[in-house]
Amino acid sequence: MTASPSAADAASLAQRRALIHTLQAAGHLRSPRVASALLAVPRELFVPGLDLAEVYRSTEAIVTKRIDGVGVSSASAPNVVALMLEQLDVQPGQRVLEIGAGTGYNAALLAHLVGPAGHVASLDIDEDLVLAAREHLHTAGYDQVEVLTADGALGYPAERAVFDRIILTVASRDIAPAWHAQLARPGGRLVLPLALRGLQRSIAFEPADNNNNNNDDNNNDDDHLVSASLQACQFIPLRGLLAAPMLRVSLGPEGGLSLALPDETTPLPAEAFANFFREAHSLWPSGVAASLDDVRDGLHLWLVAQDPNIYSVWAEPGARMVPNLFGIPERVRGSLCAVDPSGVALLGWLGHHHQAHQAGAELGVTASPGAGAVVAHLIDLLRAWQAAGRPRDRDLRIWAYPSGDRQAHARPDDAGAEAVVVQQRWTRFLLRWLRWN
């Protein structure tokens, strides 16, 4: 028996209200305006054919397109949607550019937030996704959203276009010149899942002169951006000109794994990574204890920032050869590895008690014979993190300079002596954990 439209509408509204309550209780949702948008836009219209309970799961993304078995587009998990909209801080009447149209759901939320006096433009590289997003937006009553087929790395396809807010719903390891040029100054804000040497964090960037609130000295002549907030996230990578590399390694019948790379090269060929998981290993204690929260919200980002040859490793839930370092076995097993020409050193826990990891347990390093140097290097980094006061993600500030900006080269210590430099094609990122002061 098919439910009447009124019953379906009531069920949808109840799910939206429950979702808002869940997100508020978890601390993902604070703004009444974002809550109003989530209440107003029925998510099921953008992922048709799914059960309402699946549509409104707060922490689950829904993959909507695959190429060769790999997800290339998805409806982001509602908790991540809410967090990024909080970061973006959209105001009525603003012009917003979205890179990654996906299903069109996020664009509908943005259209609700900007209101009738604002404008939302959404770009996607795939024409089929653009057509589907337009159809979903029409069904939901948001025909005013402009959805275009374009490579997001090139920005909005019009000269001198300017947007108060720019948001990416796909991960990028760089800030494209077009986003930099099309962001309003002052007052603009750019939110993107930034892949810092493979690890993603949703960063809200503002021009350095926004309200002079970034504690930067002598920045009036600079055209750089400064981070305003940072949140954990995991997004499908941007495709096109700014596509991020991913090394996929087959492990035969045991499945496979993926390594998020900082660039297109590695010190070892793919087969060497596969062989690592087939060899006998030894385990070295590090002398450093950490909880799951310490690893996920501090150590992970700190380690990949220190060394470009530390990779995030992801495998299927059943791939027991990869330590469950991040505590998410129901979706994926993940860990970190340090790599040099001598081999691979994999980070995991000593012992097997999950509850101990919640409170804190010693970290250990697994490696094959002959990889002693890379083991020692990884343990040294763990001890350096501890000696530095165990910096957390919330302590991090990021400066983003256009690579051609003379200031980026003339004042390399702008962020302090402890700054870590991550150089990309178009952007020079300076990372500094401010609690070190």
Bridge partners, 194 (sequence order): 172, 201
Q: Sign (positive/negative) of CA torsion 375, 432, 267, 260? A: positive
Coil, helix or strand at residue 119: strand
Beta strand pairing status for 282-290 and 361-367? Answer: antiparallel
Whether 76 sits among the annotated catalytic residues: the reply is yes
Among the options 58, 73, 74, 76, which is catalytic?
A: 76
Kindly give, in sequence order, each residue whose CB lies less than 8 Å from that of residue 389, ignoring residues fewer than 6 positions away: 435, 436
State the burial class of residue 39 (Cβ atoms within 10 Å of its Cβ: 0-12, 13-18, 19+).
middle
Based on its alpha-carbon atoms, the radius of gyration of the chain, rounded to whole angstroms, reads 22
Kindly give, in sequence order, each residue whose CB lies less than 8 Å from that of residue 60, ignoring residues fewer than 6 positions away: 54, 77
Bridge partners, 297 (sequence order): none
Kindly give, in sequence order, each residue whose CB lies less than 8 Å from that of residue 33, ignoring residues fewer than 6 positions away: 90, 113
DSSP line for 209-257 = TSTT-S--SS-TT---EEEEEEEE---PBP-STTPPPEEEEE-GGG-EE
| Other Cβ atoms within 10 Å of 49 Cβ, number | 6
Catalytic site residues?
76
